[in-house]
Amino acid sequence: MANEYEVKKQICEIGKRMYDRGYVAANDGNISFRLGGGRYLCTPTGVSKGYLTPDMIAVVDDAGKQIGGTWPRTSEILLHLEIFHELPEINAVCHAHPPHATAFAVAGINVPMRILPEVEILIGNVPIAEYDTPGSKNFAQTILPFLRNKANTILLANHGAVACDKSLEHAYFHLETLDMYCQILLLAKQVGNVRQLPDPKIQELLDIKRRLGIDDPRLDGGEVATLGGGDEFLKGFSMRCIPGHTPDSEGRGRGAGIANLPSQAGQPQPTEGTHIFPAVVAGRKLPATLGTSSQTARRRALEDEVERLVQVITDQIVGMNGSPK
């Protein structure tokens, strides 16, 4: 069994890393660890994770009831316990709101796969669990289907991310890997393009994953919903052929790109016709009548302008009536 005091110190250390990297604001986020024998350590509620001390760490039982420590336990303990009960080999859970990853959770846009090798190996597919009120049993259970599909890192719609592993450090690493990845994706979108790794290279990564003993539904021939990789996100990329690549007859194309592999020109590339895509919330497409994101943005800008003008006119009228005669 783990040395309880040492684990408490490690929880404080991980909390500081989460805070220093900007994954948690104010008192956000929580961390937990399975001690064994139906006992779990967890962070207290209402405390910045950047300033934890070992005496603040609470002890809870299998039902989340506090059985040790004087600081009240996190209100999110049910989320953590759901993971511990579902996955007996998991000992540590970290929950935070890392901003780049949370942006995808807020947008309801799946994180695309098949882009960075480390991400493929260490975390794999990152699903988005449906939104529910934080702290509730329903909220805790939103992640169940994904735990059963071997996800170690899950986005929580309109909220944040949760990651788990055998050790506290590895659970935390998943959050760090995910947020860095999402940041790179957002930067790549600004640069204007992204290339996904082709099947043979993905297979090589899966072979490495098997050798390292890291589970992935693809190793059993299982389905990963976003295997193709976050199509909604990728559709926003440039329509133009990447310089140095082989364009098709319309000037689009991904070209060879990767040494010793067949050209990707001719593989699906976002086109003008498919560029407009519906908003997606927690994996569900909203009705097309809501309009595209750009149409919505334009409409909102127009509404803001009208509102501003109404305010200016109202201020003038009030000013005229209120002015001394």
Element (H, E) at 308: helix 293-322
What the block records as the tokens of 196 is: 């996904």
Give the CA angle between residues 318, 321, 323 to the nearest 5°: 100
CA distances 60 to 32, 64, 94, 279, Å, are 10, 5, 16, 40
What the block records as the tokens of 91 is: 């000992």
- Which one, 108 or 160, has the nearer CB to Zn ion? 160
- Which one, 74 or 149, has the nearer CB to Zn ion? 74
- Which one, 155 or 205, has the nearer CB to Zn ion? 155
Q: Which residue is associated with the tokens 């901003």?
A: 99
Which residues of the chain form contacts with Zn ion (CB under 5 A)?
Answer: 160
Q: Which residue is associated with the tokens 């490495």?
A: 208
- Which one, 112 or 160, has the nearer CB to Zn ion? 160
DSSP 290: G
Residues 115 and 258: their CA atoms lie apart, in Å, by: 12
- Which one, 124 or 160, has the nearer CB to Zn ion? 160
Give how far the C-alpha of residue 27 lies from the chain's centroid of Cα atoms, to the nearest Å.
19
Q: What is the nearest approach in angstroms of Zn ion to the Cβ of residue 282?
A: 16
**Edge-to-edge, what's the strand order for the sheet holding 39-42?**
66-68, 58-60, 39-42, 30-36, 92-96, 160-165, 153-156, 128-129
- Which one, 134 or 270, has the nearer CB to Zn ion? 134
